[in-house]
Structure 1
């Protein structure tokens, strides 16, 4: 199926569509910090994402302190290094531990100068926190790209929220005890070569008329 219809030129001239189509997951960052004005604009866009029943049950914690980011990276490493061997640990987390255990210098957030942690209720009575936070994260990525800010979706913390090493930092930063992370966004400026989009898979669009 062709990606665009006969109105292709109109679509490609639309700034919102352009921001979506040119977004890339960046894993090499410059040290330059995202200015506060731009960060607040991105976070405002996140707040305007749709949420189940319009409840907006989320928090957006933006960490720009480099020492705190290093502490979070070290805490994540300690979690992976000390995982119990029993079945209480999710398989994806075990797989990540195997992948990174021999990479002591690896930074889980790609040394981005800003990390936005999106949290919501652990046991919501009436809401859909995972979907709500995913929608907010997409707004973050699209808004960031429109401002020339690079980004990457980081899912590691979604499986670590309840580990003491991570929870201590969350509590220190003011993240409510009854919330867990549903995703995070690394933000900064691309320090590597321009990335091309991966080819889009065929057969993923179904039209019922």
Structure 2
């Protein structure tokens, strides 16, 4: 669909990846491209209230994954699916568009990951993760003010296997008012 336009093609072809080759590191230039997409995502009144914490340290990834799984109530799963990178998207909650700003940044990063040949997935429960005592301790350790709240995690890495096939779009999603 829309092969003649690379941007539209990427937007329509990207899929969430839930199985990663954890032994294959993600190149710095690809991470830089993904982060640039997040930084250039629209924000309310161009306030740019987002912060991106790129976690490649396996111990911290495991800590965040375990905390995320506990919040989900499924402590025996890895909500990060073995991805070698998790980008925590944090936004200054004193900005009234903080949820929207963080959401747009994650969406842009998901699309950018596909565009540079990587798999990605939005992982929820970042708000609960960083609202907890353990999460607040991490924010303090990273030098992030306590007004920042988690919006989501963008996990990134090389997919194990092929991307999932797209499900057909629902016919009732678009309503025309002429």
Q: Structure 2 length normalisation: TM-score? A: 0.91
Cα separation, 2, equivalents of 1:73 and 1:120 = 20
- Aligned equivalent of 1:189: 158
Q: Residue by residue, what CA displacement relative to the aligned partner does 1:30-86 show, whole Å, maximum 9, x if unpaired?
A: 021211111011101111111111111110111111111112223334x53xxxxxx
- Aligned equivalent of 2:127: 158
* 1:193 positional shift: 4.0
Segments of 5+ residues of structure 1 without an aligned counterpart are 1-7, 81-95
Q: How many residues in Structure 1 have an aligned counterpart in Structure 2?
A: 177
Cα separation, 2, equivalents of 1:161 and 1:171 = 10
- Aligned equivalent of 2:42: 50
Which moves more between the two structures, 188-197 or 169-178? 169-178
Segments of 5+ residues of structure 2 without an aligned counterpart are none
Larger radius of gyration: 1
Cα separation, 2, equivalents of 1:158 and 1:151 = 19
DSSP-derived class of the 2:104 partner: helix
* 1:169 positional shift: 2.1
- Aligned equivalent of 1:76: 68
Kept in 2, the 8 Å contact 1:76–1:166? The answer is no
Cα separation, 1, equivalents of 2:62 and 2:144 = 18
Q: Residue by residue, what CA displacement relative to the aligned partner does 1:74-112 show, whole Å, maximum 9, x if unpaired?
A: 3334x53xxxxxxxxxxxxxxx32xx15xx2x1121111
Cα separation, 2, equivalents of 1:57 and 1:194 = 32
